[in-house]
């Protein structure tokens, strides 16, 4: 129906401050329909924007111990729907006049809502009446929210050297702040600040921001700290050895990879550069022989090389013998095999063997984990047939032409 930000959200996300209402529940004309056709959805969400909690308290669970922080609203166990009869009592307020279901901060129908309490009004006005009121800052900082200060500086930041960052267009009384990955050397109130990697940090997501004198974040910039992080490699791990390449991708972890400023990648296959061709964040590798292989990749920026990500892959050998006899009149024998490397890893290939006629009709089908498979063809008419052998890994089958002659 709608949602809003709370005043406390303004300091960290001033550009997301406001109220959102679905067109289905906004106002009292047009697409709105009973029981939400008198604009009370907007009234309640603006109430949240002005620091009011639901009347039963700031909790999704029902409890008498949770309060809305307003002294003149009765304690209420949970929310209400529809339009209860007056008076209505509950476990928290057991005597008349009972709970305040007609308050704008409950969940009753629009027609049932009609009031804020004096305490709620005082709480809302405090946001503007006080010289420190959070909502008062909207007026004071409006120009800087519409046109935020601009932060510029080098990226990434390395442990071996610091970076100067500069801000332009900031209000008087501003100051710099950083997250736990960075530290500020010297004053944090000048237009130029010197940033260093925080102690014990090797790499991660850095953030530097400009805050108003009251602590409102007016601008922020993300920066990468240290070498790039590649967390894993994605790609096939079990396939048939041969002359077709397999493609692998480096998966980054943490931060925004665009901030890494990666200058180089090192892809290795069995600790060597042969039979693998790097294209930056991905590479094509060739596995000519049945065996297990060790694939690794790391990335480099001006801070140095990051740690390696590794992947073990298995290539198996499958070179089926031609089915025999061919031509055949009675039984067709199909020899299947597996490589020793796949067996040593405790894995097995399940073959799917199919026999089709010339029109593509499936006539015979079976599955096997190896050895010899036999198809009876004694009742098939003379002609040409097609044997397809799927290995469960590659999408294309091994195909053989079979002749049946009686």
Confidence (pLDDT) at 136: 81
What integer pLDDT is reported at residue 331 of this predicted model?
95
> C-alpha distances in angstroms, 93 versus 74, 108, 119, 124?
7, 18, 18, 25
- Rounded to whole angstroms, the Cα distance separating 255 from 157 reads 13
All residues at 6 or more sequence positions from 377 whose CB lies less than 8 Å from its CB, including other chains: 328, 329, 330, 331, 332, 355, 385, 402, 404
Stretch 291-309: mean pLDDT: 93
Taking residues 159-174, report their average pLDDT. 92
Residue 343 confidence (pLDDT): 40
Domain edges within the chain:
1-145, 148-225, 230-316, 331-404
pLDDT of 338 higher than 60: no
pLDDT: which is higher, 39 or 201: 39
> Residue 164: CA atoms inside 13 Å, Cβ hemisphere, count?
4
Task: Flag the least confident range among 11-20, 333-342, 371-380.
Answer: 333-342
Sort 23 into a burial class: Cβ within 10 Å, 0-12 / 13-18 / 19+: exposed
Same fold, 230-316 and 331-404: yes
Give the torsion sign (CA, 166, 171, 172, 173): negative
The arithmetic mean of pLDDT across residues 153-166, rounded, is 90
Convert the pLDDT of each residue in 81-118 to its tens digit. 999 999 999 999 999 999 999 999 999 999 999 999 99
Report residue 294: phi and psi, to 5°.
-115, 115
What CATH code is assigned to 1-145? Answer: 3.40.390.10
Q: Residue 397 has which token pair?
A: 């089958």
pTM over 0.85: no
Closest C-alpha among 238, 50, 17, 230 to residue 141:
17
Q: What is the pLDDT of residue 49?
A: 94
Assigned fold of 331-404: Immunoglobulin-like (2.60.40)
Query: What does the mean pLDDT of the chain come to?
Result: 88
> Please, are residues 383 and 355 in contact by the beta-carbon 8 Å criterion?
no
Among the ranges given (269-273, 373-377, 391-395), the one the predictor scored with the smallest mean pLDDT:
391-395
Paired residues of 140 in beta bridges: none
> In whole angstroms, what is the distance from residue 53 CA to residue 123 CA?
11
Q: Across residues 222-245, what is the average pLDDT?
A: 88
Domain 148-225, CATH: 2.60.40
pLDDT over 90 for what percent of the chain?
A: 63
- Asked if 149 contacts 166 with a C-beta cutoff of 8 angstroms, the reply is no
Structure confidence at residue 20 (pLDDT): 95
Residue 18 vs residues 5, 21, 44, 94, 135: alpha-carbon distances, Å: 6, 10, 13, 37, 11
- CATH code matching the domain that covers 230-316, chosen among 2.60.40.10, 3.40.50.2020, 3.40.47.10, 3.30.70.2860: 2.60.40.10
């Amino acid at each position: 129906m709608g949602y809003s930000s709370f005043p406390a959200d303004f300091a960290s996300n001033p550009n997301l401050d406001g109220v959102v209402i679905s067109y289905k529940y906004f106002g009292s004309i047009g697409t709105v329909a009973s029981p939400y056709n008198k604009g009370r959805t907007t009234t309640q969400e603006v109430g949240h924007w002005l620091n009011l909690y639901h009347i039963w308290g700031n909790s999704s669970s029902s409890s008498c111990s949770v309060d809305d922080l307003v002294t003149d609203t009765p304690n209420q166990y949970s929310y209400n729907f529809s339009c209860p009869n007056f008076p209505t009592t509950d476990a928290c307020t057991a005597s008349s006049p009972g709970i305040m279901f007609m308050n704008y901060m409950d969940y009753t129908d629009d027609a049932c809502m009609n009031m804020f309490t004096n305490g709620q009004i005082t709480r809302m006005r405090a946001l503007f009446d006080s010289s420190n009121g959070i909502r008062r800052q909207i007026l004071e900082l409006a120009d800087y929210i519409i046109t935020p200060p601009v932060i510029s500086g080098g990226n990434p930041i390395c442990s071996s050297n610091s970076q100067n960052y500069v801000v332009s267009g900031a209000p008087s009384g501003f100051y710099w702040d950083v997250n736990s990955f960075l530290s500020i050397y010297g004053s944090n109130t000048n237009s130029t600040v010197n940033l260093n990697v925080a102690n014990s940090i090797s790499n991660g997501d850095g953030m530097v921001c400009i805050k108003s004198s009251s602590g409102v974040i007016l601008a922020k910039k993300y920066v990468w700290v240290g070498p790039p992080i590649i967390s894993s490699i994605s790609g096939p791990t079990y396939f048939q050895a041969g002359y077709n390449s397999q493609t692998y991708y480096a998966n980054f972890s943490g931060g925004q990879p665009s901030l890494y400023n990666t200058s180089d990648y090192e892809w290795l296959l069995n600790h060597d550069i042969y039979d693998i061709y790097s294209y930056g964040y991905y590479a094509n590798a060739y596995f000519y022989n049945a065996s297990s292989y060790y694939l690794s990749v790391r990335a480099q920026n001006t801070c140095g090389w990051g740690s390696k990500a590794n992947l073990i892959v298995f290539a198996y050998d499958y070179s089926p013998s031609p089915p025999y006899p061919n031509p055949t009149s009675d039984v067709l024998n199909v020899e299947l095999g597996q490589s020793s490397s796949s067996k040593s890893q405790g894995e097995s290939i399940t073959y799917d063997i199919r026999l089709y006629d010339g029109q593509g009709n499936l006539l015979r089908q079976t599955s096997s984990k190896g050895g010899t498979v036999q198809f009876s063809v004694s009742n098939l008419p003379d002609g040409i047939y097609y044997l397809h052998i799927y290995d469960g890994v590659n999408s294309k089958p091994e195909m053989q032409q079979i002749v049946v002659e009686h």
